[in-house]
């Protein structure tokens, strides 16, 4: 299915892009991470437990079921304030 | 109940924001606020703050709403800057008004503690050696967990 994947802060710099459209068989966050790593090993940082996933503006767990058209954002730990 | 949250690159005047919150409700005996600013030292030259437009604002709104549900407040305000900031410049303002001081003080502590771990902001530091992303601090997680854990106990 087609997804929009976004990367923020250190993850954006690591992946070399802020946003990309992907067509993937992945159906969960965990599967999407595995698929991205297989495509490009630089994505291995996404596996880090501190990486948060925001799907369509909501923080979700890696088991969250993805559907076509979702916007999936990978975020390093927050450091505001 | 007035809630105001804003993410902006422009500088703000914390004194002005505090004045705007003061004296507006006759039943309010307390106005409390916290201002965060860029701390110098360790060769720091400047900070750059990044956010997730739309999502960050929603997260701040949710934090202010949680504070308003938990304490008897009249106003809750969170203003957070993004972009580049020099040493001494303001980063964040959190304010609350309430009939009584404990509610105002606790609500302000809650909002800034929870903001640090629940709102998508990322800080990059620039120093003489270059630039690097600031890593989340364990003590920030603990400060936020204190409030969130208390809440679970309250609702149990």
| Helical spans, DSSP H, in B71-124 | 101-118
Contact A73 B123 (CB under 8 A): no
Q: How does the average pLDDT of chain B come out, rounded?
A: 93
Please give the class, per CATH, of domain A2-75. Answer: alpha beta
Instruction: Give the count of Cβ contacts less than 8 A between chain A and B.
Output: 65
- Residues of chain B whose beta carbon is less than 8 angstroms from a beta carbon of chain A are 36, 49-52, 54-55, 58, 80, 91-92, 112, 115-124, 133-137, 140
Q: Largest alpha-carbon pair distance within chain B?
A: 53
Kindly list the residues of chain A whose beta carbon comes within 8 Å of any beta carbon in chain B. Answer: 8-10, 50, 54, 57, 73, 75-81
Domain boundaries, chain A: 2-75
pLDDT at B78: 98
Q: How much is the pLDDT for B156?
A: 42
The span from the CA of A79 to the CA of B48, in Å, is 11
CATH number for the region B2-155 comes to 3.90.1170.40
Q: Give the residue on B whose Cα is nearest the Cα of A52.
A: B120
Q: What span, in angstroms and rounded, lies between the C-alpha atoms of A36 and A22?
A: 9
φ, ψ of residue A27 to 5 degrees: the values are: -120, -5
Chain mean pLDDT for chain A: 96
Q: Tell the residue number behind the tokens 């927050």, with chain if given.
A: A78
DSSP structure string for A18-57: SEEEEE----BHHHHHHHHHHH-GGGGGGGSTT-EEEETT
Separation between Cα atoms, residue B150 and residue B156, nearest integer Å = 10
CA distance, residue A25 to nearest chain B CA (Å): 26
pLDDT score at B151: 59
Regions of chain B with pLDDT less than 50: 154-156
What are B44-54's pLDDT values in tens digits?
999 999 999 99
Position B50 scores a pLDDT of 98
Mutate to test the interface with A, among B51, B122, B124, B143 (most CBs of A within 10 A): B122
- With a cut of 50, which residues of chain A have pLDDT below it? none
**Which of A43, A48, A49 lies closest to A26, judged by CA?**
A43
């Amino acid at each position: 299915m087609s997804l929009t994947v976004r990367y923020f802060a250190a993850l954006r710099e690591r992946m070399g892009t802020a946003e990309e459209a992907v067509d993937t068989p992945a159906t969960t966050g965990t599967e999407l991470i595995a698929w991205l790593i297989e495509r490009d090993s630089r994505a291995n940082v996404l596996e880090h437990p501190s990486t948060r996933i925001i799907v369509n503006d909501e923080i979700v767990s890696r088991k969250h079921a993805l559907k076509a058209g979702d916007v999936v954002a990978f975020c390093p730990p927050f450091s505001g304030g | 109940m007035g809630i105001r949250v804003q993410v902006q690159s422009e500088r703000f005047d914390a004194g002005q924001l505090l004045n705007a919150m003061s004296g507006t409700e006759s039943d309010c005996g307390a106005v409390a606020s916290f201002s965060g600013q860029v701390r110098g030292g360790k060769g720091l030259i400047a900070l750059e703050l990044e956010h997730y437009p739309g999502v960050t604002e929603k997260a701040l709104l949710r934090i202010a709403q949680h504070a308003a549900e938990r304490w008897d407040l009249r106003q809750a305000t969170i203003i957070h800057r993004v972009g580049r900031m020099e040493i001494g410049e303001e980063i964040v303002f959190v304010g609350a008004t309430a009939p009584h001081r404990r509610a105002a003080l606790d609500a302000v502590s809650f909002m800034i503690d929870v903001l640090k771990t629940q709102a998508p902001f990322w800080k990059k530091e620039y120093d003489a050696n270059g630039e690097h992303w600031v890593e989340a601090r364990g003590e920030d997680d603990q400060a936020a967990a204190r409030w969130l854990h208390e809440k679970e106990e309250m609702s149990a």
